[in-house]
Structure 1
Amino acid sequence: MKTLGRFELQRELGRGAQAVVWLAHDPRLDRDVALKVMAPGAGQATVDQWLQEGRAVSRLSHPGIVQVFEADVIEGKPVLVFELVNGGTLLPLLRQAPLPARRAVDLMVGVLDALVAAHAAGVVHRDLKPSNILLDPQGRPRVTDFGIAARVTDAKAAAIVGTPSYISPEAGRGEPPHPRMDVFAVAIMLAELLSGRRVNHDADPMRCLHRVLNEDLTLPDMPVGEVDDELRRIVQRGMIRDPEARWPSAAAMRDALLEWLQGPEVETAPSSESRAAALEFLMRRMRAKADFPGFSSSIARIQRVTQNDKESVSGLSNEILKDVALTNKLLRLVNTAQFRHAGGGTISTISRAVALIGFAGVRNLALSLVLLERMQDRGHAEQLKTEFLRGLMAGSLAREFCAGARDGEEMILGALFQNLGRLLCAFYFPEEAQQVRRLVRDGVGTRAAVTETTASTRVLGISFEELGLGVAKQWGLPEPLTAVMRRPVGEVPAKAVESQAERQRWLCRAANDTADLLLNTPPDQLEAPLARLAEAHARILKLPVRAVQAACDEARKRLASLAEAMEIRVERRSMAKRLMPTADAPAFETSTLVLGIDDAAMELATSVLPPEAPPPLLADDPAERRAKAAQHLAAGIQEITDAMVESQDVGAVLRMILETIYRALGLRRVVLALKDMRTQTLVGRFGVGEGIDQAVPQLRVPLRSPAQGLPDLFATVCLKGVDTLISDASQPNIAQRLPTWYARAPLQAGCFLLLPLMHKNAPVGLIYADQADPGAIHLSERELSLLRTLRNQAVMAFRQNAG
């Protein structure tokens, strides 16, 4: 098999005047890639520019752009290493054109979305054409081959470059790169997909160039009915010869096409195709917001860990720890009166919170907090706050209505997420949310009354429920939860519901109907309608009217406790005030928090003074930072001591130790290695922090002395049992003693700390902690003493386990 450097060349994928593209295998990372090798004979300036442009593209991160992994010279040949996309290009579709208008527009919206990201980074493609648009197995477009890309600010890049059939007039004149050049090419491709005919094609490329420079290109004939005047106007504007009259940006053309996809408001029920288009339109608008990708990834990661039984506590803790704000909020929440007393003291680690409150409970709290953390917006903060608290109230009520049933935890999220679409609309589309509320409000008591489902469908093109389910699918929420999110319609069943899944849906609807009633009814007028609602849902709730009223009172108290812990301030005149306890209600400090606490913890909950929030782990003043770090280390030691008395779970104790070190010192990562008796090697087992999944298996410290030379630094430290801080790993006397496995990413660091675990004067484990930059770890005598105590607690946990 032919090779190029470490790459195994399998077969040729394509060949052009400038380069050859190979399907290759990268054995180092065990993945297939597309290897683009520049043809021989290019001058050094051309090679340098080619590689520089490749590196610029490698910094682009967008699902619609084929990623560049590397740009380098290998065995004397300039090479770009691309992500491999299994699928064809746009060319076969062009040959099948005309495509259905919506399909063609959707494809080009995806291309424009990718260009928005590239243009925002200052990169212009300059050679967009069907062969440079790949289609993945799902049919989604991926832009590739930025081979002649250039930066908008690079005036030296002015030259006549591009493919004549798709080149813009200004590019044909050799003007400096500009995003409108790419817009022109997209408009040409869209016109060809819609018509099935080439717009500017000739066997002589010079005639193509002459035509684009001197003539206004016109749209070919398109299928009547499929392509309306508005779509023709959008495409024609993208093809205008004068760049100033063209769409000013890829984003502007994309948004115009998205609006066309959404279509005019109609009174009839939208088709499945139009609902899908509306959902995609809304999803794209949300993705355009800076926080939505992060929002989605946070929930998807937490949910993914939830579905994995292997080391679920460790995985969940590590996912939460990646978000400092979420970690601190969650620890503040679990240190309220109810949880702290259940734990016997302050809870300072996520691992301890999971052990005390339960896996499902912490998962629910984390997902709720992610929703809250992302939904902060000054422009419509009050409405968002009301919507969020209304959803939490529904979750509280669902938990109460379950009366301690096993599925109570799932019902919390089910009732909360039945409102997901409404909540997302309030955050991302406040004007549309206001329109929906106005339609519902104006129709109350009249013949023109409309439901929220009808109103949201009119305004958005899909209902709130469909929006919520579409996003939930992207997040990877499990099917049982998404099934509960489908709110049942019609009259409440007159008979008891036998199916558990169906009963859960109706129970969550009852919780949401009750939350709506509490929010929209003045307290002095609530008694009669609440009684009617309880009677209507009696077969579902299996509770008498008085029990439903008591559940509302308890849910109010718990919501107030939750709002206080989350630092949600409810103004006196806010509608959300109706969800809180009334003036004559009992103080809420004695109640148990609704989200995530198990029955045993609820029984233990009593009234204590609310604790202070866990101390911030970072401070500008070094002395203050060290004091805070020492404080957190000391709190962790006490908590770990309590856990060792209560539990024989050595794994849980070790996770608490790593997390305490990680958070107190603000480290990049902390890894625990344990001794493999068969190979006499310390092997990474688990850890917390950045890139931990790749770093843990990389940490391997052989304890046998080498046949020749001295043991490496790690082995020496472990065999001697000496606590060691390496402030600068790049120093020659240190670097030459580092093992080869340590020199590879992601484990390689600028400075690191080694705390060997010794038993009977022999190493049984190692705590490794690092920071990316040299000199980034500073330890006072107090901090070092506390770290040694934590290390000794780890050894003690081993001894307890062995005994």
Structure 2
Amino acid sequence: MKRFGRFELRALLHKSQRSMLWLVFDTHHRQEMLLMMPREKPVGEAAMLHWLKTMDTASRIHHPNLAHVVETGRVDPWPYVAYDRALGETLEERLARTGDPLPLDAAGWAAQALEGLAFAHEAGHAHRDLQLAHLVIDAGHHVRILGLEVAQDLLPPDADFNATRRAAREAAEDDVASIGLVLHRLLTGKPVLDEADLQLAMRRMQPQGQELVRLGWETPYQIPDPLRAIVNRATDRQTRQRYHLARSFWRALDGWRLAAEQDDGGPIALLKDKMQRFGHLPSTTTRLVSTAMSSAMASQHASELAALALKDMALTLELLRRVNNAMRQQGHPNSGGTVLNMQRAIAMMGLNGLEDAARALKPWPGPMNEAQANFMQSLMRRVQRAGQVAQALRPAGYDAEVVYLITLMQNLGRLLVQYHFPDDAQQIRQLMLAPEPTEDQPNPRGMTEQSAAYAVLGCDLESLGLAVARYWGLGDELQHMMHRPSQEAPVRHADGDAEILRLTCGLANELIEALGAPERKRQTAIELATRRYARALSLGLREIYDALGTLQAQAGSERGTADEENSGSERRPPGPGRVNDPRVGAAATAAPRSRLRERAEQQGGAPSEPARRGSGTAPGKDST
């Protein structure tokens, strides 16, 4: 039997370029232990003392997901650190014994490792050589990390402080990327790039090497789209797109796990908690709220009160929430559908209910700082413009207010995330930006909004909005209309009023996004959106530019107010007047209706009775 000091070496569990992990038997204490040591011995007594001092400091960090160090020592010329074998088996041993784990189990193991790693990084330590064998798991699926600081960089004592801090930060980022490779290995069932050493695989990855590491489609189990987006971001070829903090990676994984295990878990539960403390949105204009609470409003007609409420997005949502929640509590949630009309909501709640709703609102800007509040204002203006475009595009007979509110509800998740999670919203926008072009990728593309939200929050923005709609007691038909059509799938024929309204509002949102594109791509984006919806909605480019011309006229009358609200750091999204097409403007506004729309109306494409009379309920249901 080979010996290392008082330890009998029984099996070499793992060997990488920077460390070794042995299963040993301690002849003094008569028990099995895990022994880990660097592959390169410290050169000189000063280097040995530095290694032992750093290990001693790292061993004092206590966290449930960091393995407890039993002993650190030296058997000249090699230092070592010992762990209790009772902590469990390595992940390599577990995979060899039980096979590939389910995606939910794999994500749970990685999340535990990330939680311990985040704690170590925040304490100023890094691992520098994370491998599957350095994660031990017990019978209760509790994961711990072995070998913190074993593969430490042996820098000279007189090394520059800034260089040392930079090296530590880069080592921490490499640790996070290593967990991404661990999760990739668990989900695919194959070594990453056929390398047993994950650090060698990382060197072959772009941008250091030439290899691209992404999850394929031939995996032992089907991988959900959110988890796929999270793992692909962790191993992205652009380092700026990856997770830089273990805490960020953990939040995305933990959010997806909780949402997958329970319908309202993860970021949805956190969002509901924040809504209890800060409200859904802050009131944008305190003057409107104080006016709504004044006694002078008692003599006003309900239509004037409704127009006042629609000017404040927070008050609009609060009234919708209150009136629909009251209907549900009274025991007839399906008798009249979802109320989508401010005048009807105010009539049902009365002036006292309007005042209570106005008092419940949080003042602007809530917990947001100045930069976050500026972007929130910009986002609200874009949503309002989308609502105006949807009103201009709606077929004859449909209630303009209902169309505006459906467009608003399709953006509910985006608004809530920007208000309650502004840092995450900024991270999502950054991931959507295309990286710098290279020779290999001359036309790079950023992530889609859905994939970016998966990678940051663990769920998409639409799911957050739908969860809040269910929480507020809004009807199933409105929840269906809140689903924006996927831009990656063709738009089918609209059957019924609900589908017509859903597609009309979805088109309006896409057109506003197209107006925000760079000028050279703007007209192409508008035409692509028009072609997708042309057959389903019987619309042509002429109707689209008519609607954008109407928006331009409305924006011109409010330009002074909009310029005051905009800060110098936040660029206002380009208005439709900037579309590089001669048809926008007076000529487009005066143009006749397209033959496609006329032919559809001649074939009897009129809306059903509830939608014609604008009852304010979800289409297809009778009014209460």
Question: TM-score, structure 2 length as denominator?
Answer: 0.40
Q: TM-score, normalised by structure 1?
A: 0.32
Return the structure number with greater relative CO, CA threshold 8 A, min gap 6: 2
